[in-house]
Amino acid sequence: QVQLQESGPGLVKPSETLSLTCSVSGGSISGYFWSWIRQPPGKGLEWIGYIYYSGTTNYNPTLKSRVTISVDTSKNQFSLKLSSVTAADTAIYYCVKFYSSSWFNWFDPWGQGTLVTVSS
Partner 1 sequence: EIVLTQSPGTLSLSPGERATLSCRASQSVSKSYLAWYQQKPGQSPRLLIYGASSRATGIPDRFSASGSRTDFNLTISRLEPEDFAVYYCQLYDNPPPVFTFGPGTKVDIK
Per CB under 8 A, which of residues 71..110 are in contact with partner 1?
94, 103-110
Task: Name the residue nearer to partner 1 (CB basis): 62 or 70.
Answer: 62
Task: Name the residue nearer to partner 1 (CB basis): 72 or 106.
Answer: 106
By CB under 8 A, name the one of 19, 21, 23, 58 that touches partner 1: 58
The answer to whether residue 17 forms part of the interface with partner 1 (CB under 8 A) is no
The answer to whether residue 47 forms part of the interface with partner 1 (CB under 8 A) is yes
CB of 102 to partner 1, least distance (A): 9
Q: How far is CA 16 from CA 24, 37, 54, 86, in A?
A: 26, 20, 28, 8
